[in-house]
Amino acid sequence: MTEADEALETAFDALSDPDCRAILAAVDDPMTTSEIADACDLALSTAYRKVEQLNATPLLTEGVRFDPDGDHAAEYSRGVSEATVSLSDAGVSLAVETDEAASSSFDAVGVSAD
């Protein structure tokens, strides 16, 4: 399996998970994992696992929420504004666009749908 195959599989696994989709829908504005758990009605441990899964893809981006008292926290927001799956004779690709109009894609040549 190539790196592109793994990246594509990781993104599809996240998109196929209802909790991950709920998280992506909830994070219009940056949220901590605790806030995500509350907004999506998830156990905190589940939210941490799903955020970690999503953070391994370009679908979720991590930032830092600075606290004047020094208690900084990781916060997450949706990393993409659009995702497009393409199928061709060459294989499957997933193209994602960020709000900043930058894009990236994952191509998996010869990947079957099995």
| CATH assignment of the domain containing 49 | 1.10.10.10
Q: How confident is the model at residue 3, as a pLDDT?
A: 75
Smallest CA-to-CA distance from 22 within 43, 50, 3, 1 is with 50
Q: Is the pLDDT of residue 91 over 90?
A: no
Structure confidence by residue, pLDDT tens digits, 31-54: 999 999 999 999 999 999 999 999
Structure confidence by residue, pLDDT tens digits, 15-36: 999 999 999 999 999 999 999 9
| Residue 113 placed within a domain | no
Residues of the chain with pLDDT > 90, as a percent, come to 46
Q: Which residue has the higher pLDDT, 85 or 19?
A: 19
| Residue 26 placed within a domain | yes
Smallest CA-to-CA distance from 94 within 12, 31, 1 is with 12
Number of domains in the chain: 1
| Residue 11 placed within a domain | yes
| Residue 106 placed within a domain | no
Q: How confident is the model at residue 1, as a pLDDT?
A: 65
| Residue 18 placed within a domain | yes
CA-CA distance, 18 to 112, in Å (whole number)?
23
| Residue 84 placed within a domain | no
Q: Domain containing 25: what range?
A: 3-79
| Residue 9 placed within a domain | yes
With tokens 């990236």, the residue in question is 104
Q: How confident is the model at residue 60, as a pLDDT?
A: 92
| Residue 44 placed within a domain | yes
CA-CA distance, 44 to 37, in Å (whole number)?
5
Q: 26 CB contacts (<8 Å, ≥6 apart)?
A: 36, 39, 40
